[in-house]
Amino acid sequence: MIYQIIMLIAMVAVVSMQVYSDWQVEKMGKEYRNDERWNSIKLRAGNVTKTYYQYTVIMIAILMTFSLFWPTNILVRLDRVLLILLLIIDLGHVVEYLAVKRLDKVM
């Protein structure tokens, strides 16, 4: 029972962070009226997000390689796998938002 509550809290927290970050990035785009500086910031933030996803894929590949040679089978429930995937994908949006905020201050 406690595990389900923790999963629910994690899902709600990460999805709400994702919605908030998307809203903030869209709000900043309207404030800057999609000028050249804003497009440059979005492009660089997209590169940071792309790097996040690339490292995530590398980590998954390494874990899968280790699991191939592990002496025993590891059984994982589908809901846990789906929760982890949800967290990874939604945290990509948060990474993009943090990159936009940082680049907005720097540039």
Supply the DSSP string of 20-76, one letter for each residue.
HHHHHHHHHHHHHTT-HHHHHHHHHHHHHHHHHHHHHHHHHHHHHHHHHH-SS----
Structure tokens given for 47: 């590169």
How confident is the model at residue 36, as a pLDDT?
A: 93
Task: With residue 11 as reference, give the H or E element that holds it.
Answer: helix 2-32
Say if residues 97 and 14 touch (Cβ distance below 8 Å): no
pTM of the full structure: 0.85
Per-10-residue mean pLDDT of the chain, 107 residues long, equals 90 95 94 92 96 96 89 85 91 95 91
How confident is the model at residue 8, as a pLDDT?
A: 92
The residues, any chain, with a CB within 8 Å of residue 67's CB and separated by 6 or more, are 74
Q: How far apart are CA 87 and CA 45, in angstroms?
A: 19
**φ, ψ of residue 35 in degrees (nearest 5):** -75, 180
How confident is the model at residue 54, as a pLDDT?
A: 97
How confident is the model at residue 75, as a pLDDT?
A: 85
Q: How far apart are the first and last CA of the chain?
A: 48
How confident is the model at residue 68, as a pLDDT?
A: 86
Q: How far apart are CA 18 and CA 24, in angstroms?
A: 10
